[in-house]
Amino acid sequence: MSATKIYYNLKGDRSIWLIVMLLSLFSLLIVYSTSGSQVYKYNTSHGTEYYLIRQLLFIGTGLLLTYTAYRLHYMVYAKLAPILMIIAVPLLIYTAFFGTELNDASRWIRIPFLDLSFQTSDFARIALILFIARSLAMKQEYIKSFKEAFVPLILPVAGICALIAPSNLSTSLLLFVTAFTMIFIGRISLKYVFLLLVLGILIFAAIYYGGQYFPEHFRAEVWAKRIHEFWYSDGQYQIVQSKIAVAEGGWFGLGPGNSIQRNLLPYAYADFIYAIICEEYGFFGGMVILGLYLWLLIRTVGLVTRCSKTFGAMLALGLTLNIVITAFANIAVSVQLVPATGLTLPMISMGGTSFLFTCISLGIILSVSRYVEQAYEEKKQLENLEANAESNH
Amino acid sequence: MKGLANRRFSVYYFIILTSVVLIARVAYLQLVSLKYKEQAQRVILERQLDYPSRGLIFDRNGKTLVYNKPIYVIYATYRKIDPKMDTTLFCNLLGIDKSTFIHNLNKDWSNPQFHKSLPFVFLSKVNPDQFAVFKEHMYKFPGFTAVERNIRGYPHHHGGHVLGYLGEVDQAIIDKSDGVYIPGDYIGKTGLEIAYEKELSGIKGIHYILRDNLGRRIGPYENGKLDSMAIPGEDIKISIDLDLQAYADSLMMNKKGGLVAIEPSTGEILAMVSAPTYDPNLLILDENRNVGMTKLLRDTINRPLNNRAVTNRFPPGSIIKPIISLIALQKGVTWINRPMNCFGGFRLSATKKMGCHGHAPIHNVAEAIQHSCNTYYLQITKDFLDQYGSKYPGIGLDTLVSYFHDFGLGSKLGMDFSYEGQGFIPDSKYYDRVYKREKSGWKSMWVLSIGIGQGEMQLTTVQMANLAATIANRGYYITPHFIKQYISGKHIPDQYTQKHKMRIDSKYFSPVIDGMEAVVLAGTARIAYVPGLDICGKTGTSQNPHGDDHSVFFGFAPKNNPKIAVAVFIENAGWGGDWAAPISSLLIEKYLNKSISPTRKYLEEKMMKGLLNVTSEKIVPHSAQKQDSVQLTQ
């Protein structure tokens, strides 16, 4: 199958495909630009090309995953959702107790044979969104009793978020916001929406304050420190460096590969990559990235209005919301609108499992768009046929 | 459904609002605010380290053993250097040549480690005299600055092995240290410098300084909130007596071996020599360090950096006999007045006989020690091993080994010192492995050499000295140690004040000590007799399959209320009475009487002059090595 053939056979929303490509391209440029400081920091024997090739491989694998996820009919994911949930829960528990500690948080498990750390919360994130979309579709029309709302919706959201929160509060919060928004939009009685909100606030409050009594299992000290720094100072070292990077960019930036702050900013290739984008590509570059995420959201919203199936609509919306909210949160950290967290910029930050899972998410969204288009065209054809039949009549 | 559509739109509005806020914030930072643009002009945050002074070391009488002296590190800032500077004068002042100057100045500028606007190390280890001359001319060379660092200095030439030396820290330690050490730091490498590294090194102070993009100093970062002062290392007083150490060093000149002297009542080490020793000044971290280090490392015959007092292990020879006596008496295998006729040797088999010295019949344990009777000790060792039946020598041996462990043999004593050796005590498992081909197991007769300190058994010199201290104390020891006092008043660890009690009745000590006294009065160590000092001891001649026998002595004095316990081990020196015993007696005399009596001056001279070690090890014919069972032990 040649590339052109793939292109002509490529259905689904062309704009979303383009967004995926553009984000991948930006990712390659920025990651390569910041790789010099990594080579220095880790004192590795391989040169900066190593990081370029590594990122290229990640993008290649990611696009392959996107394509695979896109090829599957999205209703397959409805069947997969409960299985994924059943896998996700023990994985999260395993990670919490036996996970590898990287950067002082137990969020990863090692994948045997491959030299990769696997952040289980990324997996759980997709599983939960799939599951909620499925539940919302199945409990069509009004969910009337508490039992109907509690078991398929409120319990999974609260459970997964509570499992992720101790080691990775920010991911858990964003996932909660995503799930909450899905349920809010998903034709559920306001009573239960508020129940979920109250429950969510209680859980996060319990983990935040409870963590101060079990500092070895929770990162309460880190949270408290970061929130304190956010409110009462100009930010810790990396935030100041990040803001300097943004300020250095000006309108048009210093140009690709000319960043200075990459040498001073820790995690310039992951958590603070947006600051480097602003520095190298200026205000316009930063706006293009922000615009790409917004464009993705607008395309999905268009999709959702045309989608006849609740599952597809909810699935696409949930996955997109999660990507966009994560991106916004990452950007907000870079410019000190919220306290520092360990979030990556989806599709742009240096490869890792979160990059691959974002690719899968986009593949699923594209799968939905493919069938929405197909259904739309069939409907059009049907209308044409009817119109023809009527005129012939 | 209108209400539900509204819900969806409220979400969209919220997202649009969020993105507007984000864009506004980015635009504010990037296009409007000048604050961070200005900060960008001074992004360079310099972390300046203040090195604490390393703790000083004093001897037990308060004499300085180790002090700090300055050395200078010259830094260069490439961009500030005047291209027209007088390089000839510069090189002459610092005593370097042109190629060194060029090499040190032109760094790899593509490496982010170096920056043309930031100072880097141009020359380390400039001595104070040279620096004083250079400093007068320093104003002519902009871009060069100097920082003072401390290295060790010694006002004497003794105790190199005790004090240890410093060196640059290894990468492995830096990685593990969690930021405490950085490349180029000095760290204790051996001896007390490494054992007390944590206490001596102190804590570095840190100053954060903001510099602008041209490397100009702007001021402290966040008004110095994060800065900290350097905390100097702790000064310590150690148990070494410098005068005695100096005397011990001179007694051990031209020999290979170890010497340890302990104060029995406290476990404090008064002197410790590993011969050949070296002058600690040889390994000072100044410009001549490499010369000294190379000289010591090149001497592969004498291996002066080995520690023969604490690390290396040797067969103890006959000095184990008093210990065997005590254990056997305690277990009831023998009794104080057990007589024995020697008949000039102990018959191991029909054809083999372990020889003994010509002496009168033995009437009690004291006489057995006095005459170092091999027959007596082989017999009681056999009795001991077979006490649970001759089929089970393993149980008897392990009982003996458990008593040896009490005496601190076969494992580390737990001194406050680096690279402490364990020695070696064979147990039943060891012999099971050695004799695994024997179907009916091994017999007590095959391993009797333990009873006379030969065979597989090996001790470190400090373990031997500790045995002497244990007998001197009539049944207990305190772990030998160097720490006497922290000048700050901090308590020394409990492990150096606790008594380790032996499972041996105190009544068994007096006959053994009587025997040890008789060794000096009328036995194998008469040369060690000093009137009025009541020295008690035991000689040993430990067989060495590679060359001449080793000369060993351990003992203490005075007999009542002992003040000093000594063990001396001289490699390839022959009989215990020839070298180790006189050296020990001279050391004891020096410590107790502060001087050597004129009648013994000849002995002192002979010991100091004795040229023993300098030749290489003798090559012994293979057949000679085989004749193991017919040699004498004394």
Of A341-345, B487-491, B611-615, highest mean pLDDT: B487-491
Task: Give start and end residues of each alpha helix (H) in A250-344.
Answer: 273-306, 310-334
Return the structure tokens found at B29. Answer: 């930072």
Whether B631 shows a pLDDT value over 60: the answer reads no
Question: What pLDDT shows up at residue B501?
Answer: 94
C-alpha A299/C-alpha A303 separation (Å) is 6
At which residue do the structure tokens 């928004």 appear?
A181
Estimate the crossing angle of helix A75-98 against helix A155-164, to 10 degrees. Answer: 40
Whether B345 shows a pLDDT value over 90: the answer reads no
CB proximity A256 to B under 8 Å:
no
Burial of A188 (0-12, 13-18, 19+ CB in 10 A): buried
Q: Which residues contact B347 (CB under 8 A, 6 or more apart)?
A: B353
Whether B622 shows a pLDDT value over 60: the answer reads no
Q: Which residues of A touch B22 (CB under 8 A)?
A: 290, 328, 331-332, 335, 337
CA geometry: angle at A207 spanning A203 and A208, to 5°? 115
**What does B52-92 look like in DSSP terms, one character per residue?**
PPPPPEE-TTS-EEEEEEEEEEEEE-GGGS-TT--HHHHHH
CB proximity A306 to B under 8 Å:
no
Q: Which residues of A touch B36 (CB under 8 A)?
A: 240, 243-244, 246-248
Question: What pLDDT shows up at residue B5?
Answer: 64
Domains, chain B, in order of start with CATH, read 49-233 (3.90.1310.10), 242-629 (3.40.710.10)
Whether B541 shows a pLDDT value over 50: the answer reads yes
List the beta bridge partners of residue B540.
B552
Among candidate residues B46, B447, B94, B421, the one with its CA nearest the CA of residue B207:
B46
Question: What pLDDT shows up at residue B213?
Answer: 56
Whether B82 shows a pLDDT value over 90: the answer reads no
CB proximity B30 to A under 8 Å:
yes
C-alpha A271/C-alpha A170 separation (Å) is 12
* Poorest-pLDDT segment among A228-232, B94-98, B580-584: A228-232
- For B443-470, the pLDDT digits (tens) are 888 888 888 888 889 999 999 999 999 9
Whether B65 shows a pLDDT value over 80: the answer reads yes
- Answer for the pair A184, B7: CB distance below 8 angstroms, yes or no: yes
Q: Which residues of A touch B31 (CB under 8 A)?
A: 250-251, 283
Estimate the crossing angle of helix A310-334 against helix A237-249, to 10 degrees. Answer: 100
Question: What pLDDT shows up at residue B2?
Answer: 46
- For B22-39, the pLDDT digits (tens) are 888 888 888 887 777 666
The values of phi and psi at residue B110, to 5°, are -80, -15
Among candidate residues B596, B525, B491, B588, the one with its CA nearest the CA of residue B271:
B588
Which DSSP category does A351 fall into?
P
Q: Which of A185, A244, A286 sits opposite B40 (nearest CB)?
A: A244
CB proximity B225 to A under 8 Å:
no
CB proximity A56 to B under 8 Å:
no
Residue B407 banded pLDDT, cuts 50, 70, 90: very high
Q: What is the ipTM of this complex?
A: 0.81
- For B415-425, the pLDDT digits (tens) are 999 899 999 99
- For B279-318, the pLDDT digits (tens) are 999 888 887 888 888 888 888 878 888 899 999 999 999 9
Task: Give start and end residues of each alpha helix (H) in B236-350.
Answer: 242-251, 289-298, 321-331
C-alpha A51/C-alpha A351 separation (Å) is 10
Q: Which residues of B touch A261 (CB under 8 A)?
A: 43
- For A158-208, the pLDDT digits (tens) are 888 888 887 788 888 999 999 988 888 877 778 888 888 898 899 888 887
Whole-Å CA distances, B530 to B269, B516, B564, B587: 23, 14, 14, 11
- Answer for the pair B423, B433: CB distance below 8 angstroms, yes or no: no
Q: Which residues of A touch B29 (CB under 8 A)?
A: 243, 246-247, 335
- Answer for the pair B409, B464: CB distance below 8 angstroms, yes or no: no
- Answer for the pair B495, B480: CB distance below 8 angstroms, yes or no: no
This prediction's pTM:
0.60
CB proximity A251 to B under 8 Å:
yes
Estimate the crossing angle of helix A237-249 against helix A273-306, to 10 degrees. Answer: 80
Nearest-CA residue of chain A relative to B28?
A: A247
C-alpha B186/C-alpha B552 separation (Å) is 38
Nearest chain A CA: its distance from B215 CA (Å): 15
Among candidate residues B51, B75, B49, B53, the one with its CA nearest the CA of residue B207:
B49
Question: What pLDDT shows up at residue B346?
Answer: 80
CA geometry: angle at B301 spanning B296 and B303, to 5°? 40
- Answer for the pair A164, A178: CB distance below 8 angstroms, yes or no: no
C-alpha A357/C-alpha A121 separation (Å) is 10
Q: Is the CB of A337 less than 8 angstroms away from the CB of B8?
A: no
pLDDT above 90: percentage of residues in chain B? 43
pLDDT above 70: percentage of residues in chain B? 92
Q: Which residues of A touch B37 (CB under 8 A)?
A: 247-248
* Poorest-pLDDT segment among A320-324, B51-55, B110-114, B416-420: B110-114
Question: What pLDDT shows up at residue B408?
Answer: 93
CB proximity B7 to A under 8 Å:
yes
- Answer for the pair B308, B161: CB distance below 8 angstroms, yes or no: no
C-alpha A359/C-alpha B478 separation (Å) is 69
- For B177-229, the pLDDT digits (tens) are 877 887 778 899 999 999 999 999 999 888 887 766 555 667 777 777 778 88
Whether B629 shows a pLDDT value over 50: the answer reads no
Whether B326 shows a pLDDT value over 60: the answer reads yes
Question: What pLDDT shows up at residue B615?
Answer: 44
Return the structure tokens found at B402. Answer: 């458990």
Among candidate residues B579, B537, B531, the one with its CA nearest the CA of residue B557:
B537
B355: helix, strand or coil? strand
Q: Is the CB of B26 less than 8 angstroms away from the CB of A286?
A: yes
Query: Along the 393 residues of chain A, how does pLDDT read in single tens digits?
Result: 456 666 666 777 888 999 999 999 989 888 888 877 667 666 566 677 788 888 899 899 999 999 999 988 888 998 898 899 999 888 888 887 776 655 555 566 666 555 566 788 888 999 999 999 988 888 655 556 666 666 778 888 888 888 888 778 888 899 999 998 888 887 777 888 888 889 889 988 888 787 777 666 666 677 777 777 777 666 677 777 888 888 888 888 888 877 777 777 777 777 888 988 988 898 999 999 999 999 999 899 888 888 878 888 889 999 999 999 999 999 998 888 888 787 888 988 886 788 899 999 999 999 999 888 888 888 888 888 888 887 776
- For B430-445, the pLDDT digits (tens) are 999 988 888 888 888 8
C-alpha A103/C-alpha A93 separation (Å) is 19
Q: What is the mean pLDDT of residues B261-278?
A: 94
Question: What pLDDT shows up at residue A108?
Answer: 66
Q: What is the mean pLDDT of residues B332-339?
A: 90
